[in-house]
Amino acid sequence: MRRTVASALSVLALGAAFSLFSTPAAGAPAAQTYRVRGLEPGQEILLDRAGAVVTDVDEGAVYVKARPDQAAKLRKQGLKVDTMTATALAATFGPVDPGYTDYPEMQAEVARLVGLYPTLASQQVIGKSFEGKDIVALKISDNVGVDETEPEMLFTANQHAREHLTVDMALYLANMLLNDYGSDPAITKIVDNREIWIIPMANPDGATYDFATSSYWRKNRQPNSGSTAIGTDLNRNWGYKWGCCAGSSGVKSNDTYRGSAAFSAKETQVIRDFVLSRRVAGVQQITEHLDIHTYSQLVLWPFGYTTSTVVAPLTADAYAAHRAIGTEMADLNGYWPGQASGLYIADGIISDWMWADQKIFSFTFEMYPKRSDLFEQFYPPASVIPAQTSRNRQALIRLAQYADCPYRSISKENTYCAVADDYTLTVPGATYVVAQGGTVATTITATKTTGANQLVSLTATGAPAGMTPIFGLGSIPTDGSAQTISFSTAATTTPGEYTVVVRGDGTAGTVRTAPVTIVVTGSAACQGANATDVAIPDDGTPVTSSLTIAGCGSLVSPMANASARLEVHIAHTNIGDLQLRLIGPGGAVTIHDRDGADMNNIDKIYTLDLSGQTADGTWSLEATDLESGSTGKIDSWTLTLK
């Protein structure tokens, strides 16, 4: 799904008469390969006017042969022009590391797991690819042979053939659930209370072809009528808003060719029909879906066809729940969260269809690497597989925990997820204020609304470092009686506003939550802010915005606080170009290193370990735009040391 790099081999196969490193005419500046990003429809003429020769095209990226002066002309037009070095080009074009899992190996691994765990795992062929290969779905549940009335989850991988890491991610998930069942309480609870479907290779024809050719093949292998061009981009072939919004291509040879019609690709038909088969008595059993891609290290949610956040049929609450779950997962795996269209407009994608057509909460992972010029490839060495799959463990667990009621992520389960034996969990008041090192107390009440009474076990999440939620009792009956809950803070707890979510797990299986807003106050002398705009130049020149903290040193010198709070607001058209550092009296800390791919703006709170720093003095937020073709400014920032 990421803006991608196409193989030069495919260009050569089309008979293009060029060399990646052709010999220039005597006395002329050497032409070289550049990647051009930021082209809008109709701007192709800028390439021609500059004298650049297009050698390859992929979504959001055009590869050209040009002299340095011609590349400079393009940069003056506001385009992002990246020099492709010989090393980068060599890395870009493969080959596929044989350490990745190919189609026969995927089949063997699924069969191995089913044989090893026959009571927990089963497989079924849900359909055939265009070339007749089996599209396999692995089911995992505690009673795998029974279609239980449990919330279901669907994981899809490898819609794009060259994204081989995604297959290994799907198989990691399967092994995690099966190998750790019975030993890991969180995994055991998920398998006992969910039905999980994993389609580890949605595009077996394309993946097999790419393994054989190392050609950066993206599409399926279905021929196109009236053309010698092969293949449809499966993740532009889904039925919702298919071809609506310049987020796919109608050119059959293009990597983002959307197909002759929605669901014209055999593989999307198969997965669509499987999803529709999970409707029981008119009710869709699948509540959550995750589509796995590479690359950019992002967690994305609908919609991809529009930059609007709330647009029917995505309600404000549905968008908020997508965003809440997506952000929680990103906090756990270190990815950057955002709406799919924040990366680029894409229409006819699976996640948009999942929500709009079936009301399935749908997310996309864009895996390693986090930016194109880190390795400039879809073919990183297979040695990255263990680290880049296991980093998603906690994020996948968190997603599964919400499958019974995704709206619980925004504490609206009472509105959307009524159950037979139900109750409300209530904390009076909206906001509680406590000083560092102090304690604030309130009450919590569980009240039955329907069905039978139950005993509710209480836990809390979201408290910052140094804050301890303390319950008068570990559980509470649903008879309307109240018990005390207190929040005790350490002297090192970072001041700020926090939402602590109290969770109740009823003996009838009902889960309810209550958010509590806690404001921790600290010393005014240990806080500073700067709201003066500072333009970030598009030429790699660092700029700084500064503030002074004075009178804090007597409280913390040197600082022992490992959780200082930095709130940053930056308006920028491509945050993947930015490097941000916090520079204090005692040194610098990098807080943002070209994360977020091609997404816009940074509005984020960072928790930093500044222990050992000197508190008093000048603190600066330094921003550097390391690539061309984007603009922005430091809008405001706030630093709280104590």
Give the CATH superfamily of 103-410.
Zn peptidases (3.40.630.10)
pTM for this prediction:
0.86
Please state, in angstroms and rounded to a whole number, the distance separating the CA atoms of residues 45 and 52.
10
User: In the chain, what are the domain boundaries?
Assistant: 8-92, 103-410, 418-521, 524-640
Give the CATH number of domain 418-521: 2.60.40.10
User: Which residue type does 322 have?
Assistant: H
Give the CATH superfamily of 524-640.
Galactose-binding domain-like (2.60.120.260)
Please state, in angstroms and rounded to a whole number, the distance separating the CA atoms of residues 130 and 263.
13
Residue recorded with tokens 């995927």: 106
Check residue 28 and give its pLDDT: 57
Active-site residue, from 152, 366, 413, 627: 366
Please state, in angstroms and rounded to a whole number, the distance separating the CA atoms of residues 340 and 325.
14
Check residue 554 and give its pLDDT: 66
Q: How many CB atoms lie within 10 A of CB 377?
A: 21
Tokens linked to 483 = 């018990």
Residue recorded with tokens 């079924």: 124
Give the CATH class of 8-92. Answer: alpha beta
**Which sign does the torsion angle of CA 138, 143, 148, 151 carry?**
negative
Q: What is the dihedral of CA 543, 549, 550, 555, to 10 degrees?
A: -140
Active site residue 366: yes
> pLDDT by residue (tens digit) across 479-522?
999 999 999 999 888 888 999 999 999 999 899 999 999 999 98
Phi, psi of 544 (to 5 degrees): -130, 150
Please state, in angstroms and rounded to a whole number, the distance separating the CA atoms of residues 115 and 122.
9
Pairing of strands 134-140, 195-199: antiparallel
Please state, in angstroms and rounded to a whole number, the distance separating the CA atoms of residues 347 and 453.
48
Buried-state track 556-565, b at ≥16 Cβ within 10 A, e below 16: beebebebbb
Spell out, as residue ranges, where the chain has pLDDT lower than 70. 1-29, 38, 40-42, 55-61, 84-94, 372-377, 554-562
Check residue 45 and give its pLDDT: 79
The DSSP letter of residue 236 is G
What does the radius of gyration of the chain's CA atoms come to, in whole angstroms?
26
Check residue 46 and give its pLDDT: 83
